[in-house]
Structure 1
Amino acid sequence: MTTRPASPPPAPPRSWSTPLLLVGLLALVVASFATLQLELAAFLAPESLGTTLEFLSGFAPPDLAPAFLRKTLGAALETLSMSALGTLLAVVAGLLLALPASGRWGAPPRAAVRLLLNVLRSIPELVWAALLLVAAGLGPFAGTLALGAHTAGVLGRLFADALENAEPLPEAALRNNGAPALAAFFYATLPQTLPQMLSYTLYRWENNIRAAAVLGVVGAGGLGQMLKYHLSLFQMQSAATVVLAMLLLVALVDAASFALRRALTR
Structure 2
Amino acid sequence: MPVNQPTAARKAPPLPPPIWDARCRACWFTVLLLAFVAASFWSLDLQWGQFLSWQAAKDMSRFLGEFFPPETSADFLWKVTIGAWETLAMSALGTVLAAMGGLALALPASRLVAGDTAWARGPTRLLLNALRSIPELVWAALLLISAGLGPFAGTLALALHTTGVLGRLFAEAVENAPTGPGDALRAQGVGQGRVFLYATLPQILPQLMSYTLYRWENNIRAAAVLGVVGAGGLGQLLAFHMGLFQMGKTATILGAMLILVGIVDATSHLSRRLLSR
Using structure 1 for the length normalisation, give the TM-score: 0.93
Residues 178-198 of structure 1 show CA distances to partners (whole Å, capped at 9, x for unaligned) of 333322211111000000000
Partner of 1:17: 25
Normalized per residue, the structure richer in helix is 1
The reply on whether 1:73 has 2:81 as its aligned counterpart is: yes
Distance, in Å, in 2 between the alignment partners of 1:263 and 1:162 is 20
**Does structure 1 residue 103 correspond to structure 2 residue 114?**
no
Distance, in Å, in 1 between the alignment partners of 2:169 and 2:49 is 43
**Alignment RMSD (CA, Å):** 1.5
Contact preservation (8 Å) 2:70, 2:252: yes
Q: Is contact 1:100-1:106 (8 Å) kept? A: no
Task: Pick the aligned partner of 2:39 from 4, 19, 31.
Answer: 31
Report what 1:254 is aligned to.
Answer: 265
Shift of 1:65: 0.7
How is 1:66-215 mapped onto 2 (pairs within 5 angstroms)?
A: 66-104=74-112, 106-215=117-226
Gaps of 5+ in 1: 1-11
Deviations, residues 4-54 of structure 1 (Å, cap 9, x unaligned): xxxxxxxx9973311111111111111111111111111122222111111
Cα-to-partner distance string for 1:233-257 (whole Å, 9 max, x where unaligned): 1100000000000000000000000
CA apart distance, 1:221: 0.4
The equivalent residue for 1:263 is: 274
Between the two proteins, what is the percent identity of the paired residues?
A: 59
Q: TM (normalized to structure 2)?
A: 0.89
Q: Kindly provide the amino acid, as one letter, of the partner of residue 37 in structure 1.
A: D
- 8 Å CA contact retained: 1:97, 1:156: yes
Task: Determine if the alignment matches structure 1 residue 48 to structure 2 residue 56.
Answer: yes
Rounded Cα–Cα distance in structure 1 between residues aligned with 2:39 and 2:194: 55
